[in-house]
Structure formats: C-alpha cells, structure tokens
Amino acid sequence: MIVTIDGVAASGKSSVSSGVAQALGVPYVSSGLLYRAATLLGLEASLDLHAAPHLLTLLGTHPVRLEPLAGGNRVWQGERELTDDLHSTRVDRGVSVVAALPEVREWVDAQLRALPEPFVAEGRDMGTNVFPHASHKFYLTASARIRAERRARERPEDVPAIEAALQRRDELDTVQSAPAPDALVIDTGPLDLQGVIDTILTRLR
C-alpha cells in the first residue's frame, strides 16, 4: 500500500504525512529532502546548480541515503547527517533549480522506487509520476499568505519575504507540481493540522 500526499511549498505535506503515517503505523517518505540534499551538497562544493554532470558525479561518489521514519525523515551522506542543514534559506532558494534537472529527478525517483512498501510518500509528483498506481492520493493547497504565515514560525525572514520566495518556488515547480487526476485536493487554509490529517484518515477508512 502506498499513499501519496503532494502539494505546493509549505502546504503541510511533511507534517500531515507524518501524522497520517503514525496513525497507520507505517513510515513516511519525504522526497523533497533528497532534492534538498542534492542542493546542499552542490552549494557546499560551489557547483553551478544549473549543470547536472558535476552534481551527478558528486552524488555518485558521495551517496546520499534517505531514512524514512514515521516521526520524521533523516538524510545521511556516509556517517554525516545532513537533516538539520536541509531547511536553510539558501537551500530553499536553490532547490527548484536543482529539481528541474531531469538527471537529478531520475536519481531521486530511483531511490524512492527502491523503498519497501507500505509507506506514505510526500512531494510534488508522487501521485503523478513516481507512484501512479498508489492506492490513495491527496494534494494539499493553501493561499501563499497562509503558507508564508505558517512558515514564518520556522524561518528568520518576515512574512512578505517568505511569501515572495514561496510564490517564486511555486512558479519554478509548476511543471512537476500538479494534482493527479485521481487525487483528492484539500484546501488546508481553513483547517488545522489535525483537521487535515483526519480528512485523509477518514477517506482511507
């Protein structure tokens, strides 16, 4: 069984996926963390984030591993844990450029498809591209302002700056971020976190 939860930036994908996964007693899989890890390593190596070859060589020689858990995912490069470095403003800024590279998308997709079922997978294209045969699909939305207000509690920038950055990333992610035709679209604006989780669990039951 695979449940997919896609959606726009800061729509609640990881918090909701974690809640749903814990209720189901399965791990959740955060695909965005792999794009973030590729971006962090590219930035640290001062690579051109628009150019795939050097990035892929780096990822090939220093393999990155996603550890999917119900409570939160962790990312490793060998013995080094990258998790806490993946949500910085500079990774936020660069990640959509890296995620637009087909070679990087293949690198992420191969890792995700190798994971043992069951799990809840969250990202942009889990229900459309990576797991089109998933048993249940959801897509989370909310206005840019509401998402920015939520994220402002986790980032040093103010709401207008975060809102502008989210809108820029939404635009860059448009290609891979669309609801699957068979996904239930949930506007999380009027709901709290538990309300979104309960909506999904009700549908699953």
Binding site for ligand CDP (CB under 6 A): 9-10, 13, 31-33, 35-36, 95-96, 99, 123-125, 169, 173, 176
Report residue 52: phi and psi, to 5°.
-75, -40
Identify which of residues 154 and 202 has a Cβ nearer to ligand CDP in the complex: 154
Can you state the angle between helices 31-44 and 102-113, rounded to 10 degrees?
130
Helix, strand, coil shares of the chain as percentages rounded to 5? 50, 15, 35
- In whole angstroms, give the CA distance from residue 118 to residue 198: 20
Answer yes or no whether residue 99 interacts with ligand ADP by CB under 6 A. Answer: no
CB 7 → ligand ADP: shortest distance, Å? 6
Work out the end-to-end distance of the chain between its first and last CA atoms, rounded to an integer number of angstroms.
13
Quote the least distance from Cβ 39 to ligand CDP, whole Å.
8
- Indicate which of ligand ADP, ligand CDP, none lies near residue 82 (CB less than 5 to 8 Å, by partner kind): none
Q: For 191, phi and psi rounded to 5 degrees?
A: -110, 150
Contact stretch for ligand ADP (CB under 6 A) within 8-16, 43-51, 99-107, 124-132:
8-16
Name the residue nearer to ligand CDP (CB basis): 26 or 128. Answer: 128
